[in-house]
Amino acid sequence: MCAYVSNGNATPEVLDYIRPWVDLYKIDLKGFSDKGYRKLGGLLENVLATIKMVQERGFWLEIVTLLVPGFNDSVDEMRAAADFIAGVSPDIPWHVTAFHQDYKMTGPDNTSIETLVRAAEIGYEAGLNFVYAGNLPGRVGKYENTFCPGCKKAVVERHGFRVLKNRIKDGACPYCGREIPGRWSDGSAGFSAA
Q: What is the largest CA-CA distance in the chain?
A: 49
More confident residue, 104 or 154: 154
Q: Which residues contact 92 (CB under 8 A, 6 or more apart)?
A: 51, 55, 61, 62, 63, 85, 128, 130
| 56 part of a folded domain | yes
Element (H, E) at 64: strand 60-67
| 20 part of a folded domain | yes
- The pLDDT value given to residue 76: 98
Judged by DSSP in three states, 11 sits in: coil
Query: In this structure, are residues 24 and 46 in contact, taking their beta carbons and an 8 Å threshold?
Result: no
- The pLDDT value given to residue 184: 80
- The pLDDT value given to residue 107: 84
Query: In this structure, are residues 135 and 158 in contact, taking their beta carbons and an 8 Å threshold?
Result: no
Q: What is the CATH number of the domain that holds 53?
A: 3.20.20.70
pTM of the model: 0.93
- The pLDDT value given to residue 49: 98
Average pLDDT over residues 100-120: 94
| 189 part of a folded domain | no
Q: Determine the Cα angle at 178 with ends 174 and 184, to 5°.
A: 70
| 193 part of a folded domain | no
Which domain does 68 fall in, by range?
3-136
Over residues 57-95, the pLDDT tens digits come to: 999 999 999 999 999 999 999 999 999 999 999 999 999
Average pLDDT over residues 97-105: 93
Nearest CA-CA partner of 69 in 29, 131, 114:
114
Average pLDDT over residues 14-43: 96
| 70 part of a folded domain | yes
Q: How buried is residue 42: exposed, middle or buried, by Cβ count under 10 Å (0-12/13-18/19+)? A: middle
- The pLDDT value given to residue 185: 65
Query: In this structure, are residues 188 and 182 in contact, taking their beta carbons and an 8 Å threshold?
Result: no
| 170 part of a folded domain | no
d(CA 113, CA 161): 17
Lay out the sheet containing 94-98: strands in order across: 3-6, 24-28, 60-67, 94-98, 131-134
Query: In this structure, are residues 59 and 93 in contact, taking their beta carbons and an 8 Å threshold?
Result: no
The domain tally of the chain equals: 1
| 27 part of a folded domain | yes
Average pLDDT, the chain: 94
pLDDT band, residue 188 (cuts 50/70/90): very low
| 166 part of a folded domain | no
pLDDT band, residue 105 (cuts 50/70/90): confident
In the predicted structure, residue 189 carries a pLDDT above the cut 80: no
